[in-house]
Chain A
Amino acid sequence: MTLSGKTAIAGIGATEFSKESGRSELQLAAEACVDAIKDAGLTPSDVDGLVTFSSDSSSEIAVARELGIPGLSFFSRVEYGGGAACGTVAHAAMAVATGQAQTVVCYRAFNERSGHRFGQAAPRSDRGVTSTGMEFSWHLPYGFATPAAWVAMYARRYMHEYGATSEDFGRVAVAMRRHAATNPKAWFHERPITLEDHQASRWVVEPLHLLDCCQESDGGVAIVVTSAERARDLPNPPALIRGAAQGAGPNQMMMFSYYETDLTTLPAMGRVGETLWRQAGLGPADVRAAILYDHFTPFVLVQLEELGFCGRGEAKDFVADGGVELDGHLPVNPNGGQLGEAYIHGMNGIAEAVRQVRGTAVNQVAGVENIIVTAGTGVPTSGLIISRF
């Protein structure tokens, strides 16, 4: 039994990406969902399932109320921050493939810049005596309180093991900003940076400069999942879901799996990659482009290694050789990624993958038959392989 090829993404939608949306997160969610449903050539009454992130502030029933969806047969939430992104589509695909729902919309919408910002240090752990609260309690008291800091701990060890440098991380940021510069929807449209800009940007948490960290955004993105057969009858070319996987590694923690694992690796992503390649019957040589979650530059390097695009410790050379550029060996995040386009918790990357498969992206990579998409790293994560029908 396999999920591969049974479902497809029929519609994508989004709000504008900004630093201050000026409206509620629920409104952003509703707007993004309506946009995606229209893109699929459907109406809200066709939708019978909703999936979002556990961390989203708008409940499925609230979104259903706003959209006028008459009823839901399936609703689900996916845990672990940005690691949920592709997981929402995986849940939707499972529901559709098993007949639990006909058409499921996945959404994520927030005012991450004008409202609650994830990058700020929480004054105290209010998570209490939960398992997650316990995890944070080994880290927060030391002022080790931000995602940038948690990723920096991995990055420092990666530099030590493989001789990677801050410039190696910086080249990722430069590439993403170059891609964003030609994407009118990107926040950093027409605002590329140089490696010198990267090096001159202030420290956030050494070894990460400001420009190693993705921006913060307000906005929403929604994805419509339905059966492959049904998608074929809808207006846009279907983006077939060939692979959909979630993954957690050994002794996994939220973003600090430092205790028994090799800090230069992301075992959760390795697991997702293996599952995706197996489900799709494909390998790294079969994808023409990749959407790699880029909240922090160092993990783009580690993902290239975990997914098999290069060997351990070789990603810095892969990137330095221009491998992730639009004309490179593996164009990564042609939309500019979260560093350049917007930080919508990885959901805007899924939309870009769909556009690449449809052939409608602004920075279209020629001949994209298959594309791999990943979700937040460091946390338990997820991934997709999307293919032309």
Chain B
Amino acid sequence: MEGETLHDQLMALAGELTAAGERPAGACPDPVNAAMIRNWTQALGDRGTRWAETAPPAMIQVWSMPGLNPDKPGSIADRALTLLNDEGFTGVVATNCEQTYDRYLRHGEHLRSTMRFGGATGPKRTGLGEGYFVTWYQTWYSGDERVAEMMFRVLKFRPRRRSSGSHAAKGYPLRPAVGPDTRFFWDGVRDGELRIQRCAECGRLRHPPGPMCPACQATKRDHVTASGRGTLHSYVVHHHPPVPGLDPPFVVALVELDEGVRMVGNLLGCPPEQVRIGMPVEVSFQEMDDELTLPQWRPAGSPTPSPAGTETGAGARSERGPGAETAGSEPGPEVETAGSEAETEVETALHPEAAEGLPELRVELTPTFVIATALATRDFTPVHHDTALARAQGSKDIFLNILTTMGLVQRYVLEHLPDVALEGISVRLGVPAYAGDTLTLTGRVVDDRAVEVRGAVSLGDHAVATVRLKEQP
């Protein structure tokens, strides 16, 4: 293949894999059975009463999981993922998981599954680095009858180079100078906290901060943590000249915080033509590179985008927690870290306060919950149960697996709409849901065929889902 570029090689391989069509995947060792269903419902907190005859549809992938099998079969996409890996695209994040349920499975049914390659697209510039999206499909059959299908997409990316020294950073070029009077602010931002300087004598809030209170001349100062809410006081849309590190057009906003001070930042997640003075906004922390996080703004109530989001301009970076970039440098569907993309545009205009909004469901992500759900979905990947190993791979802690995320979306919808039948779940994956965090699920009934669900953790949106409902008979 001398002389051929990676792109050419990858496209050729993708063509070959696609042409190969559907291939048998790993066996489904056990029939659909009550014991695994009970394990699953207990671990996920599903009431479980409705599953006396059929299986929870979101369990579909569980039936074909290889478990602790040392010779577990590879994915249909392995050759493509390995090629990318060898060419320096060593990072991987899962971005999309879409399941379609042709019908609910009955206890006792024996299943088999197949895989087929879905394609490779790129190169795309994403917040994590340049990368290719690789897609494959898994299909489940009962006899010759297709019963379910899943589309799975990952981003294989070339991680941005880590800097050696604090000033040698090759990352985002527009860096603030940080001094003794402002360090508390940037420390806060790194910890996901928006801090406002407060005079320790007279209590006056002040931003930007400074060493002496202009009201009482005191130099003693502390800070409060801002609510992160405010309204847009003014804004501009930058087109020209080019600004290093950003793709125009991008919006710079002057935000008046609920606490009364003003701050400047980019407004993300809002097309320039929809920006309005007076609109409510909320803070969102955007990791620009390994060392710099900026407090940014989004329309209030809008979902946090995916880490790998391909938003233009100032939004083309990850808004996420630490660790996602390095987690999982080995290819394979079992590697689950934060990620998503905007290729398949999921309409995510969630408004929890809307009239048809569903009540909130809070799930405490205790270590027990994270581990029990991973094992109940027959997922033995260490990042879901081994804290030391997860940290060694760059994650903050063990984190929820995708099979559980799918299951929790199903649980949320069926708890609030017990009479519906699910046709499918499409999830755009966001930041990791780490042990110790709380997953808050909110949702909105779009119409009698669709429910939107948003699962948020402290770092932002973990999953944004559209649940498709079967037509009511």
- With the chains together, A297 CA to B263 CA distance in Å? 25
- 22 cross-chain CB contacts under 8 A: A121-B241, A123-B244, A125-B174, A127-B177, A134-B181, A138-B208, A138-B263, A140-B176, A141-B175, A142-B252, A144-B236, A144-B252, A152-B236, A153-B236, A153-B254, A156-B235, A156-B236, A157-B234, A205-B237, A205-B239, A205-B240, A258-B233
Given contacts A140-B174, A142-B314, A202-B240, contact A153 B235 (CB under 8 A): yes
Determine the chain A residues whose CB is within 8 A of the CB of B288 once the complex forms. 141
Determine the chain B residues whose CB is within 8 A of the CB of A143 once the complex forms. 174, 238, 243, 245-246, 250, 252, 266, 314
Q: Interface residues, chain A, CB within 8 Å of chain B?
A: 119-121, 123-125, 127-130, 133-146, 149, 152-154, 156-157, 160, 202-207, 210, 251, 256, 258-260, 263
Contact: B174 with A141, CB < 8 Å? yes
Q: Is B332 an interface residue (CB 8 A)?
A: no
A46 CB, min distance to chain B CBs, angstroms? 44
Selected contact of A124 from candidates B173, B261, B272, CB within 8 Å: B173
Selected contact of A144 from candidates B181, B261, B264, B272, CB within 8 Å: B264
- List 5 A-B pairs, minimum CB-CB distance, nearest first: A137-B176, A206-B237, A129-B179, A152-B236, A157-B234
Q: Is B351 an interface residue (CB 8 A)?
A: no
Minimum CB distance partner of B272 in chain A: A206
Q: Is B218 an interface residue (CB 8 A)?
A: no
A156 CB, min distance to chain B CBs, angstroms? 5
Q: Across the A-B interface, how many residue pairs have beta carbons closer than 8 Å?
A: 133
Contact: A142 with B265, CB < 8 Å? yes
Given contacts A153-B252, A153-B254, contact A145 B243 (CB under 8 A): yes
B183 CB, min distance to chain A CBs, angstroms? 10
Chain B, range 221-262, C-beta contacts under 8 Å to A? 233-246, 249-250, 252, 254, 261-262
Determine the chain A residues whose CB is within 8 A of the CB of B272 once the complex forms. 206
Contact: A137 with B236, CB < 8 Å? no
Contact: A123 with B174, CB < 8 Å? yes
Q: Is B220 an interface residue (CB 8 A)?
A: no
- With the chains together, A133 CA to B180 CA distance in Å? 13
Minimum CB distance partner of B169 in chain A: A124
B interface: dominant SS? loop
Q: Is B207 an interface residue (CB 8 A)?
A: yes
Q: Is B212 an interface residue (CB 8 A)?
A: no
Contact: B182 with A134, CB < 8 Å? yes
Q: Is B294 an interface residue (CB 8 A)?
A: yes
B187 CB, min distance to chain A CBs, angstroms? 14
Determine the chain A residues whose CB is within 8 A of the CB of B254 once the complex forms. 153, 157, 258, 263
Q: Is B388 an interface residue (CB 8 A)?
A: no
Contact: B177 with A137, CB < 8 Å? yes
Determine the chain A residues whose CB is within 8 A of the CB of B252 once the complex forms. 142-144, 149, 153
Contact: A121 with B243, CB < 8 Å? yes
Determine the chain B residues whose CB is within 8 A of the CB of A145 once the complex forms. 174, 243
Contact: B243 with A157, CB < 8 Å? no
- With the chains together, A143 CA to B182 CA distance in Å? 19
Q: Is B178 an interface residue (CB 8 A)?
A: yes
- With the chains together, A137 CA to B210 CA distance in Å? 13
A119 CB, min distance to chain B CBs, angstroms? 7
A27 CB, min distance to chain B CBs, angstroms? 28
Q: Is B277 an interface residue (CB 8 A)?
A: yes
Minimum CB distance partner of A206 in chain B: B237
Most chain B beta carbons < 10 A, residue from A119, A140, A142, A144: A142
Given contacts A121-B244, A137-B176, contact A160 B239 (CB under 8 A): no
Contact: A125 with B243, CB < 8 Å? no
- With the chains together, A32 CA to B214 CA distance in Å? 43
- With the chains together, A136 CA to B175 CA distance in Å? 10
- With the chains together, A265 CA to B346 CA distance in Å? 43
Contact: B234 with A258, CB < 8 Å? yes
Interface string of B294-332 (1 = CB under 8 A from A): 101000000000000000001000000000000000000
Contact: A121 with B176, CB < 8 Å? no
Minimum CB distance partner of A137 in chain B: B176
A25 CB, min distance to chain B CBs, angstroms? 22
- With the chains together, A158 CA to B124 CA distance in Å? 40
Apart from A149-B238, A206-B272, A259-B208, 17 more pairs, CB < 8 Å: A123-B173, A125-B177, A129-B177, A135-B208, A138-B264, A141-B172, A141-B174, A143-B243, A143-B250, A146-B241, A153-B236, A160-B277, A203-B249, A204-B239, A204-B241, A206-B236, A210-B240
Given contacts A152-B236, A156-B235, A258-B262, contact A141 B176 (CB under 8 A): yes
- With the chains together, A99 CA to B187 CA distance in Å? 53
